[in-house]
Homo-oligomer: A and B are copies of this chain.
Amino acid sequence: MNLKQLAKELNLSISAVSKALRDSHEISASTKLAVLAKAKELNYQVNPFASSLRKQKSKTIAVVVPEIDNIFFALAINGIESVAQEKEYHVLIYLTHEDAQKEVSVTQLLQNGRVDGIMMSLSSQTTDFSHIQQLKEKELPIVLFDRVAEHINVPKVTTDDYDSGESATEHLIEAGCKKIAFLSISNNLSISNKRKSGYIDSIKKNNLPNSKNLIIECSQDDEKNKLLIKNLLKKKNRPDGIFASVEKLALLCYEVCDELNLNIPADIKIIGFSNLHTAALLKPSLTTITQPAYEIGRESALLIFKLIEKRGNSIIPEKTVVASSLIKRGSTKK
């Protein structure tokens, strides 16, 4: 079924049908409805690329995330996709695998009209943000979520990382911990730094030992991380509480405690940021700061569509914060 046949079926000129399909003001509403109904009936489909060239809209948004086999990002993408479906948009997914260079390549690739907007969560290796600045200069709508660049003036959607860092630490103190370690994931990451600030301020406020030795700088290398945690817990004067800034570090603590025959929570209490489905089924169940991953995704997508649709007087907040919740379980029992 091509345009010519469709026009013949409708007893209209090709030009009139084409204009109707493009929603031209030259065509009456009733004719447009008749054309759309017939097009649907005959399963006539507009070539999306030709259509995109005319409308200058790709009807596509991009999501750039470090990993997809991380339940936080999977849930966030679910939230983004729920909004995209409502808007009848397509979603392109790009994974950077925590590689800053890949992140730069992807943003360059996306500057040429393939997408109408980009939602991005930065890699842990990203230290230079000029590629984000470049997107902004090109006036390509962009929203950063979860792992953001604080100083770049684009809309950002995060959870309350500082407050949650504080309340995780307070919870360990209430559970009786006197010497609390913090496992950081990367000094480049906004989330890790804010959680750490919350931890440090809470430690100071409660007059607990505030030693640099208690802040362990972990990386993407799990073998090395495990060794760092092992060395920490082998010490005679080991901590009695651990606050893991990300899920995988909390799980490594479980493995290390198992190997060192340390009992959680009797010997050491553990809390971690996590969206793990199975947190409640671990041995013991893991106390978590649970992030509103789906909501962060939805919120980011709603913002990107506000930017794409450039609704006259809609105000785009630079910072949107969706609160996390503390879920107390076995790993921090008194």
Contact = CB atoms under 8 A, between A and B. Distances in A.
A114 interface: yes
Interface residues of A, number: 41
Contacts of A46: 112
Nearest to A50: B53
Given A68-B68, A69-B78, A47 B281 contact: no
For chain A, what secondary structure do more than half of its interface residues adopt (helix, strand, loop), or is it mixed?
Answer: mixed
A277 B58 CA distance: 37
Contacts of A91: 92-94
Interface string A68-101: 1101001101100100000000111111000000
B53 A49 contact: yes
A108 B46 CA distance: 12
A255 B285 CA distance: 12
A302 to B, nearest CB: 18
Contacts of A133: none
Interface in A85-142: 90-95, 108, 111-114
A93 B93 contact: yes
B112 A47 contact: yes
Interface string A132-161: 000000000000000000000000000000
B74 A112 contact: no
A205 to B, nearest CB: 33
A207 interface: no
